[in-house]
Amino acid sequence: MKIVDGMTLSAEHRALLRPCELLTDPCGGIHRLPRWFYEVESWQAAKAMRVTANFMLAELSTVDCREADLLVRQLPHYVPCTLTVLGRYLQEFRLRAEAPVYVSVNGGYRSPAHKLTPQYATPHHWGTAADIYRVGDTWLESQKTIERYARIAESIGPEVHVKPFGHGPGETDDHLHFDLGFVTLVPHGCSEL
């Protein structure tokens, strides 16, 4: 896939993707949004692009109509290069869970312009988070199932963060939120200056 410097995109795209801009998370932490993106020529290309053995790029970047119109309807699409890293962690999770893992719509990468989370930084804006609503035949909509798979996710390593079960902010009750924090990826050949 072609790698694109977000700073060279059109003004309209930069206003929505906000490459290199600082965003504050709900705890007050400040983070710099990703700069490097894969250019995805078409939705068909995203469906055909295998990130790992069991995850396609489309599954990690599907959004609904709450995403900014330009980013949904105009080609090409842009997704952070870290999505491939997320895919590898999800592949490991799948291996440990011994079942297929399903990421919800809006549950992978979504832009800072997405209406679900426009005010604050979330790893979803970095392409390093996945909302998993189902593992095999198990729907993650109870404390028991969410916590069971949270333990499996955490067993991968300390860099994996899951949200606890609950109904309040920072908690989940109908999916497992799995993320790697605010990771950015600078591909070889790309300069940060």
Partner 1 sequence: MADSLEERLRARISDIQGEFRLEAIGVAVHDYERGRHFAHNADRWFHAASTFKAAILLAVFNAAEKRLLRLDDQLHVRNRFHSIVDGSIYRIDGDRDGDPATHRRIGRSMKIADLAHAMITRSSNLATNLLIDYVGVGAIREMLSKAGVQGMRIVRGVEDHVAFQKGISNETTANALVQLFRLLCEGEFLTEFSRQQVRDIFLAQEFKSMLPARLPPHVRVAHKTGEISTHWHDAGIVNFPDRKPYVVALLTQGAPSVDQPQRAVAALSEAVFEAVTT
Residues in touch with partner 1 (CB under 8 A)? 62, 64-66, 102, 104-107, 133-134, 139, 141, 167, 173-175
- Decide whether 139 or 164 has the Cβ nearer to partner 1: 139
Work out how close the CB of 106 gets to partner 1 at its nearest, in angstroms, rounded to a whole number. 5
* Residue closer to partner 1, measured from CB, 66 or 148: 66
Q: Nearest distance from residue 189's CB to partner 1, in Å?
A: 35
Shortest distance in whole angstroms from residue 149 CB to partner 1: 14
Task: Find out whether 66 and 114 touch, Cβ atoms under 8 Å.
Answer: yes
Of 21 and 173, the one with the shorter C-beta distance to partner 1 is 173
Nearer to partner 1, 106 or 128 (CB): 106
Least separation in angstroms between CB 64 and partner 1: 4
Rounded CA separation 86/16 (Å): 22
